[in-house]
Amino acid sequence: MNRRVVLITPYGEENRGIRYISAMLRRNGFEPHLIFFKRWVNNAMEPPTEREEELLVDLVQRIGPVLVGVGFGAPHFKVVRNFTLKIRAASDAVMLWGGVFPTVCPEDCIDEVDAVCIGEGEFATLDVVQALAEGRPLANIQGLWVREGGTVHKNPVRQLIQDLDSLPFPDYLQPDTWFIEDGQQLRTDPVAQTVEYRIYPTRGCPYTCTYCHSHVMRGISREGGGRYYRIRSVENVIAELEAARSILPRIRRVKFDGDVFAFPPEWIEEFSRSYRERVSIPFEILTYPGELDGRDYQRLKQAGLRKIQTGMQSGSERELRDAYRRQSTSKDILELHRTVLDAGIEVVYDLIFDNPLASEEDKRSIVELLLKLEHPFSIYMYSLTLFPKTRLALDLLEQGLATPDDIEGRATKSYRQFRLSFDWPRPPVDRFWIALTALAAKPFVPKALIRHLMESESLRKKPDLLVAAARLADLTKAGTLALRMLVQGELTLFKLRQYGSFKRVISQ
């Protein structure tokens, strides 16, 4: 009986989805082989070479699986479609696609493969391999669209996993793990030398921002029922971190991923105590303005919290409300800022640019809000990426401000401009406001100077000197950050390969 399964993810060395599925299959007696195909590199993603695709197909042939599963998001649709065609020509294995893009756009995927998984994949994939092992048909497996000849069976969506503690911890450093990059096929886990461990203590999101897939996924999951936002127990989270530390002894920092760090007060109290006693590694979180209060931050700081990352997105109440449907306000940002600085915690604000709905006044508001904040703080600047079926993408399509070719899946803008860099073509006035935003976040640039520059009509029209100053400031900040990471033992070849491009230095 063939119990071998190949799980592939493109440009996602840290992809937790297939690591969870791998662990679920392994727990149930199957033999998963993980293939990480190509490295994620900030704003410098390259399509696979013909040689790399040959290595992928050859590896699948040598493993000889009963199932090949591919998990991916919208930007990678074209790459996945191309190598899927080649795998199908060389292998009799059933082809299953899953992940965010197949979940949101199964109609664009089902003609390319035998089956598409809609929603969470752990139990759906397990049902597929059990059916294949027993010679049963796939046509009625819940959570799948299955193609049989000219017929597509559209089965009901599976209920979201309510008890996240029931899942095995994701697979890391398993012997049957492969990495294909730079024309080479290596039998290794690409995160083997990482010093940062990412953990997801939740699934789902309580918020409905228009640029994010979360509200689309929430709508899809309603058919299956159950809670959309789910949290793991403190004990389960701590146990995973203890297991990770034994497997990856170089860990120097923990990053709590997921959409938002949102928990009841009693969870935070228990977590803070257990983390301090049993893990005690510096950590950072993603949160939403107003989600945590001063007491929460003090407890988390005592446990090891060093940095939070939160969405500012814009300084304009109009843009936040009408374009992004964010519940936070500038007042919330100012209150959050005072709270975290009082607690001695670093803060990074996410900002979104290149929104065609943003007026010049909206762009100005970001600079004005940053000038109200006391240093230190950092910013992550993102170029708006349009994902399929999100509210913002649909709004822009309806208003004629975007075309279907601008939506990821057809587009691959995120390969070149996800985190914002100055090498992307923009109108002079946008370059002007972006450069001022970058300068406003630097503690060594006088605020009075920025206020003066804001009123310069000549720089609005010809911002090249201002952009050059912002680039220099970004390089200075990046150098300082790199030095600090080096001292703390966090500057690794893994991170340098992801972000170490002087040509596309991102603003922080």
Per-residue pLDDT tens digits for 114-171: 999 999 999 999 999 999 999 999 999 999 999 998 899 999 999 999 999 999 999 9
pLDDT band for 194, please (50, 70, 90 cuts): confident
pLDDT band for 474, please (50, 70, 90 cuts): confident
Residue 370 in tokens: 């940053």
Longest dimension (CA), the chain: 74
CB-count burial class (<10 Å; 0-12, 13-18, 19+) for 399 = exposed
- String of DSSP letters for 101-129: HHHH-GGGTGGGSSEEE-S--HHHHHHHH
* For residue 496, pLDDT beyond 90: no
Per-residue pLDDT tens digits for 420-441: 999 899 999 999 999 999 999 9
pLDDT band for 309, please (50, 70, 90 cuts): very high
Strands, E, within 59-102: which ranges? Answer: 67-71, 94-98
Residue 453 in tokens: 């520059």
pLDDT band for 506, please (50, 70, 90 cuts): low
Judged by DSSP in three states, 98 sits in strand
| Cβ count within 10 A of residue 173 | 11
Task: Please give the pLDDT value at position 149.
Answer: 83
Task: Please give the pLDDT value at position 492.
Answer: 65
What are the domain boundaries of the chain? Answer: 4-186, 199-420
Q: How many CA atoms lie within 13 A of 110 on its CB side?
A: 19
Which single residue is written with the structure tokens 């530390």? 245
Whether 213 and 206 have beta carbons less than 8 Å apart is answered as no
Phi, psi of 350 (to 5 degrees): -85, 135
Task: Please give the pLDDT value at position 493.
Answer: 63
Whether 210 and 391 have beta carbons less than 8 Å apart is answered as yes
Task: Please give the pLDDT value at position 15.
Answer: 92
Task: Please give the pLDDT value at position 500.
Answer: 55
State the first-to-last Cα distance of the chain, in angstroms, to the nearest integer: 53
Q: What percent of the chain has pLDDT over 90?
A: 87
Residue 212 in tokens: 């994010």
Per-residue pLDDT tens digits for 199-241: 999 999 999 999 999 999 999 998 888 999 999 999 999 999 9
Task: Please give the pLDDT value at position 490.
Answer: 65
pLDDT band for 42, please (50, 70, 90 cuts): confident
Please name which of 390, 374, 375, 470 lies closest in space to residue 430, comparing C-alpha atoms.
470
CATH classification of 4-186 is 3.40.50.1000, yes or no? no
Beta-carbon contacts of 383 under 8 Å, excluding residues fewer than 6 positions away, are 352, 353, 354, 413, 417, 418, 419, 420, 424
CATH classification of 199-420 is 3.90.550.10, yes or no? no
Please name which of 113, 105, 55, 35 lies closest in space to residue 81, comparing C-alpha atoms.
113
Beta-carbon contacts of 210 under 8 Å, excluding residues fewer than 6 positions away, are 323, 324, 325, 390, 391, 392, 395
Task: Please give the pLDDT value at position 164.
Answer: 98
- Same topology for domains 4-186 and 199-420, yes or no? no
Task: Please give the pLDDT value at position 458.
Answer: 96
Task: Name the residue with higher pLDDT: 2 or 371.
Answer: 371
Per-residue pLDDT tens digits for 348-374: 999 999 999 999 999 999 999 999 999
pLDDT band for 499, please (50, 70, 90 cuts): low
* For residue 504, pLDDT beyond 60: no
Q: Tally helices (H) and strands (E) across the chain.
A: 18, 17
Q: What gap in Å lies between CA 172 and CA 19, rounded to an integer?
A: 7
Per-residue pLDDT tens digits for 479-492: 777 677 666 666 66
Rg of the chain taking only CA atoms, in angstroms? 23
DSSP 406: G
Helix (H) or strand (E) holding 216, with range, is: helix 214-221
Whether 164 and 236 have beta carbons less than 8 Å apart is answered as yes
Please name which of 467, 469, 401, 472 lies closest in space to residue 433, comparing C-alpha atoms.
467
Q: What gap in Å lies between CA 296 and CA 229, rounded to an integer?
A: 20
